[in-house]
């Protein structure tokens, strides 16, 4: 079974530009969550999509947005990039939405390393 695939693996962008990252979850998984990882802040939750609907959103500015397609693939967009957006962006795939009444194992992709210069 193929794992979680994130593309691209590396990106270098200039301040003010926008960027789109992609995540293909494990086949059959309907939930995709996005996390930002930086040395200073650690792993921080951005948002979760389940069945094309945003289920939850973390404490990030509106420049960070996402969507999910009918095949469960998800994209994350960051507009008007700032230097502080440089980070490893990770997506996690799970069968059901996290934070439900059950127990959800989440599987992560290799991440996209974004560098803003």
Q: What values do phi and psi take at 18, rounded to 5?
A: -120, 160
Q: Judged by CB under 8 A, does residue 103 bind other proteins?
A: yes
Residue partners of 71: CB distance under 8 A and separation at least 6: none
Q: Judged by CB under 8 A, does residue 100 bind other proteins?
A: yes
CB 21 within 8 A of CB 109: no
CB 4 within 8 A of CB 109: yes
Q: Which stretch binds other proteins (CB under 8 A): 59-67, 68-76, 78-86, 88-96?
A: 88-96
Least Cα distance to 92 among 117, 56, 61, 59 occurs for: 56
- Residues 28-67, mask of contacts with other proteins (x by CB under 8 A): -----x-x------xx-x--x-------x-x---------
Rounded to a whole number of angstroms, the minimum distance from the CB of residue 80 to other proteins is: 25
Q: How far apart are CA 13 and CA 11, in angstroms?
A: 6
Between 16 and 99, whose beta carbon lies closer to other proteins?
99
Site residues, other proteins (CB under 8 A): 4, 6, 33, 35, 42-43, 45, 48, 56, 58, 88, 90, 92, 98-111, 113
């Amino acid at each position: 079974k193929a794992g979680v695939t994130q593309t691209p693996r590396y990106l270098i962008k200039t301040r003010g530009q926008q960027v789109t990252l992609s995540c293909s979850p494990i086949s059959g998984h309907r939930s995709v969550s996005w996390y930002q990882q930086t040395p200073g802040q650690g792993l921080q939750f951005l948002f979760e999509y389940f069945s094309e609907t945003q289920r939850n959103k973390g404490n990030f500015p509106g420049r960070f947005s996402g969507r999910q397609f009918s095949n469960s693939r998800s994209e994350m967009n960051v507009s008007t990039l700032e230097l502080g957006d440089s980070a490893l962006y990770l997506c996690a795939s799970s069968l059901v939405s996290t934070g439900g009444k059950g127990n959800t194992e989440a599987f992560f992709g290799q991440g996209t390393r974004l560098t803003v210069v």
